[in-house]
Structure 1
Amino acid sequence: MYVIVVYDVNVDRVNRIKKFLRRYLTWIQNSVFEGEITPADLEEVKMGIREIIDEDEDMVVIYRLPSSKSLNREIMGVDKSGSEEII
């Protein structure tokens, strides 16, 4: 499956969650990661996020798609991820 993870966390936890998500997904821009992931890895990501965030203060949204082919992505401005197209 293909996921997009968007987060808004306290500045004290930004580096921890960013470093954690880089193990599983590709950084796209500030507070956004995406990539192909197995259901088992997605569960690990969710457990890891729960350990990092404060659920009373932070927010993480995970969008799930069947595959990257289900995604029509248009970039306007600077592509901070360094990739021009999702394959």
Structure 2
Amino acid sequence: MYVILVYDMGEKRVGKMLKLCRRYLCWIQNSVFEGEITEVKLEELKIRASGLMEETDSLIIFRSRSERWLEKEVIGEERSPVDNFL
């Protein structure tokens, strides 16, 4: 499945969440990630993220069957283009 993940964390935990999410998805903008992920890996990510989060933090995950069902428009420079893999 293809996901877009967005989080909002307290300053002290942002770095840890960034490192965690980069292990599973592609970082495209501050606190925003995207990519293909299995259901099992997504559950693993959610469990680990929950362990870092406090009451005022949030994690939002948008799911799609695949990237082709999602129209993406980038205005300006894309931080981490994911279409340049060999």
Instruction: Give me the TM-score of the superposition, normalised by structure 1.
Output: 0.91
2:5–2:33: 8 Å Cα contact kept in structure 1? yes
Give 1:67 deviation, angstroms. Answer: 0.5
Distance 1:66 1:23 in 2: 21
Partners of 2:48 and 2:82 in 1: CA distance: 29
1:44 aligns with 2:13: no
Maintained 8 Å contact 2:2/2:37: yes
Whether contact under 8 Å (1:4, 1:35) holds in the other structure is: yes
Q: Which runs of 5+ in 1 are unaligned?
A: none
Task: Supply the RMSD in Å over aligned alpha carbons.
Answer: 1.6
Deviation beyond 6 Å, 4+ runs, structure 1: none
TM-score (norm 2): 0.92
Q: 2:25 — aligned with what? A: 25
Partner of 2:78: 79
**Alignment partners' CA distance in 2, 1:19 and 1:61:** 17
Deviations 1:20-78 (A, max 9, x none): 01110000000000100000001001101100111x11011000100011110000112
**Count of residues paired in the alignment:** 85
Change (3 A) 1:86 1:65: farther
- 5+ residue gaps, structure 2, are none
CA distance in 2, matches of 1:86, 1:10: 33
